[in-house]
Amino acid sequence: MLDTLQRLASWMRPAAPLLGILGLALLLLCGGLILFARGATGDQLLLPAIAALVWCLCGYVFIHAFQQVPAFPDAELRGWRRLARLFARAWHWLLALVFLGTTIGALTITNHIIGEALS
């Protein structure tokens, strides 16, 4: 599964600069709306901007976290090097679980924001 995530992150890698720039722009937009917007118009723009910011952040972190996953240790690899490689893979598995939870949270937030916008 980690190899599949690495291939997906490598395929998505050209989008990383765009996600970073868009995320920064959305962060500035959210900050500006919080500080300077008054009334319902600012509130209507703030929730979708937050959702888009969360998705940009998820995509950017995914690309950078999974673009270099260490390979499973060979039979020839022994001692501390094998243990270090196993710990690095375990760390990436933990990152995959955290990313799964973050994605589910982002889906939930997006669902609530769409529900609010449509009601």
The pLDDT, as a whole number, for residue 10 is 93
pLDDT the model gives residue 75: 73
pLDDT at residue number 86? 87
Q: Among 97, 74, 96, 98, which residue's Cα sits nearest to residue 86?
A: 74
Orientation of helix 79-118 relative to helix 40-66, angle to 10°: 160
- Intervals of the chain under pLDDT 70: none
Say if residue 39 is exposed, middle or buried (CB neighbours under 10 Å; 0-12, 13-18, 19+): exposed
CA dihedral 13, 14, 20, 25 (to 10 degrees): -150
pLDDT given for residue 55 in this prediction: 93
Q: Contacts from 21-29 at CB under 8 Å and sequence distance 24+?
A: 22/52, 22/56, 23/53, 23/56, 23/57, 23/60, 26/52, 26/53, 26/56, 27/53
The model's pLDDT over 8-28, given as tens digits with 9 standing for 90+, comes to: 999 999 999 999 999 999 999
Short-list 103, 107, 22, 21, CA closest to 62: 103
Domain count for the chain, please give it.
1
Q: pTM of the full predicted structure?
A: 0.82
Which residues form the domain of 65? 2-118
